[in-house]
Amino acid sequence: MNLLSIHDGHNCGVAIFINGNLVCALSEERITRKKNEYGFPMNAINYCLNYANLKKDQINQISISTKKLPPKYFLVKRNTNFKIEDYFKEQNEYWYKKIYLNKKIKYLEVFKDKKVKKSQLYYNFKNIKNEDDYLGMLDARKNYISNFFLLDKKNIFFYDHHECHAYYGFYGMEKKKKKICTVVLDGGGDDTNASIWMSQKNKLKEVYRTNIGNLGRMYRYVTLLLGMKPTEHEFKVMGLAGYALDNGNYYKKAIKIFKDTLFISGIKFKYKIKPKDNYFYFANKLKGERFDTISYAIQKYLEDMLVEWFSNIAKKFKVKDFAFSGGVAQNVKASKKILENKNISSLFIPPGPGDESLPIGAAYCHFAHTQKLKQKISNMKNPYIGISFNEKDLLFLKKNKKIKIKKTNNKEIASILSRGNPVARFSLDQHEFGPRALGNRSILADPRNQDIINLINKKIKVRDFWMPFAPSILEEDSGKIMKIIKNHKNFYMTISFDVKKEFISKIPAAVHPFDKTCRPQMVNKELNFKYYDLIKEFKKISRVGVLLNTSFNLHGEPIVFHPKDALSSFLRSGLEYLYIGEYLITKTSKKKYYLDI
């Protein structure tokens, strides 16, 4: 049975399963080169069909995540096209007038300059009643998908947003304990932003659902208050929070502002003071507070709330093993605190637990609901489920006069890295799934060199100065370098650990400079032998089985997808070495190129 699964909200994408085997998954943004791409993922679908060697009419069934998507977000591609100033405009000219002035205001009037061209819209909006008509939008989505795939509508299935997140966490686990609780927390989807699911044999039973678990929304709009892009830059707030002084009095007022609103009662979220909104209320209350105070306060509040919530869930349902999914599960510092709690034995966070994984979650939902599939369903132990390339895809390199090409190997690359040179690595094997680069689409460097941070930040990535870099560590060396919590296997950079004192000075570039934590990728020999071997070669030279690893992209762009994207990013940056397939690429000139290829 050929199942194609789609998410067409923000961070849209597709996954293909053949007889329960996950063949590939791909986010649309990787191809369009626009972050947080919104809408029908046409390009990703075509790539995945081609990769799976399938034609459209060979798809037997389609599963789609999220039932309630308003037309207005499709028409402006909000998460794709909005800049920070547009999010401020959204608050001031739409939400403030709607909530505080009780004005009837149309979103599409406020953002008429943002409406996308009809040629960019796949769905037919003719029968949609208004900008919030999600039922009409549901019909438009189903009609287009049915026509596109020449598939009877009875074979197209829509699934609840949170249930898709939950099944992604649950079915994504390699080894399941007898009793597992899957917790979902996000900004919101299908009128829900927090839910709890208990395992029953090989299925999930919903035990709690609410739309006032507003932790994700609070964090989102604090991100905007700090002048950063919501639904994209929350990780920057988390990184900034790590610089806080360990002085409770300094942050007491700001933390109290958050605590005076949402709190935990048993397994439920409740309000002491319920703000009218999550932006203007906190903007007013936090006036005069420093940016570092605010970032620390929201992070500390989130951590405390999650620890209490998970602990209460564990006690009520007598469960110690958890899966965590949804956008908030990407907060690696909060997940560290959850796992440290005495009531928690294990915490599985799958690669890319945000909305980018909803196509896979929708497929898992479908398998759980239809009960027709007897074959084993792929889990998410192996995160390298993207698209692979071959030597033919590199032929264009030989025609480019701005680069030099030579055959190379891991030994030579390790030597280049050990001499203080960053190297961009593009593997021709299937790329990693999710927002974290796991070696196949990475910029790598020597973690022993503290100065490498400024080099990468200024000349290559143009990153914010306070953001730490992550390490890729040989799995067998992880326990020597970090304080591993409860033997947690962190293959996907989904949780942070404290670095042992004796190693802080040995890998300073891969450690948070203030709180001395790191967000590691444990590199497993079976999951990615070529990358594992590269780190092994580097260890022979440096005596450290660690490489600094940051995603291969320029600031504001998605991670590179095609070899042509890799070359373009290479030529538009201060990188001097590109390791692509079995080739080493260098520039014929030190000059920056702005290439159209």
- The CATH number of residue 435's host domain is 3.90.870.20
Cα dist from 335 to 63, 123, 219, 302, 511, whole Å: 30, 38, 15, 10, 18
361: three-class secondary structure by DSSP: helix
Domain count, the chain: 3
Cα dist from 440 to 436, 528, 563, whole Å: 10, 9, 12
Give the residues across from 346 on adjacent strands.
Answer: 321
Residue 464 lies in a domain: yes
Return the structure tokens found at 80: 């794709």
Residue 90 lies in a domain: no
364 and 440 housed in the same domain: no
137 and 71 housed in the same domain: yes
Q: Cβ of 483: how many Cβ atoms within 10 Å?
A: 11
336 and 363 housed in the same domain: no
> Which H or E element spans position 541?
helix 529-542
pLDDT for position 249: 76
Evaluate whether 578 touches 568 at the Cβ level (below 8 Å): no
Angle formed by the axes of helices 161-171 and 358-370, to 10°?
90
Look at strands 61-65 and 2-7 and give their pairing.
parallel
Residue indicated by tokens 């009643």: 129
Q: What is the pTM of this model?
A: 0.96
Domain boundary among 315, 349, 383: 349
**Domain limits for position 246:** 176-349
Q: How far apart are CA 571 and CA 475, in angstroms?
A: 33
Scanning 151-247, the segments in alpha helix (DSSP H) are 161-171, 215-225, 234-241
Look at strands 21-27 and 262-265 and give their pairing.
unpaired
Rg (CA), the chain: 23
154 and 20 housed in the same domain: yes
DSSP assignment of 287-347 equals TT--HHHHHHHHHHHHHHHHHHHHHHHHHHHT--EEEEESGGGG-HHHHHHHHHSTT-SEE
> Which H or E element spans position 49?
helix 42-51
pLDDT for position 246: 66
Return the structure tokens found at 310: 């998970």
pLDDT for position 305: 98
Residue 99 lies in a domain: no
509 phi and psi angles, rounded to 5 deg? -75, -15
Taking only the tens of pLDDT, the chain with its 597 residues reads 999 999 999 999 999 999 999 999 999 999 999 999 999 999 999 999 999 999 999 999 999 999 999 999 999 999 999 999 999 999 999 999 999 999 999 999 999 999 999 888 999 999 999 999 999 999 999 999 999 999 999 999 999 999 999 999 999 999 888 899 999 999 999 999 999 999 998 899 999 999 999 999 999 999 999 999 999 999 999 999 998 876 667 799 999 999 999 999 999 999 999 999 999 999 999 999 999 999 999 999 999 999 999 999 999 999 999 999 999 999 999 999 999 999 999 999 999 999 999 999 999 999 999 975 556 899 999 999 999 999 999 999 999 999 999 999 999 999 999 999 999 999 999 999 999 999 999 999 999 999 999 999 888 888 888 889 999 999 999 999 999 999 999 999 999 999 999 999 999 999 999 999 999 999 999 999 999 999 999 999 999 999 999 999 999 999 999 999 999 999 999 999 999 999 999 999 876 544 443
Domain boundary among 338, 370, 402: 370
577 and 533 housed in the same domain: yes
Return the structure tokens found at 304: 């405390």
Domain boundary among 340, 370, 400: 370
Residues 6 or more apart whose Cβ sits within 8 Å of residue 108: 72, 75, 76, 115, 131
Residue 592 lies in a domain: no
Evaluate whether 267 touches 313 at the Cβ level (below 8 Å): yes
Short-list 81, 87, 84, 76, CA closest to 29: 81
Return the structure tokens found at 185: 């927390």
Residue indicated by tokens 């028409």: 75
Residue indicated by tokens 């692509």: 580
Residue indicated by tokens 């990153």: 463
Q: How far apart are CA 471 and CA 516, in angstroms?
A: 13
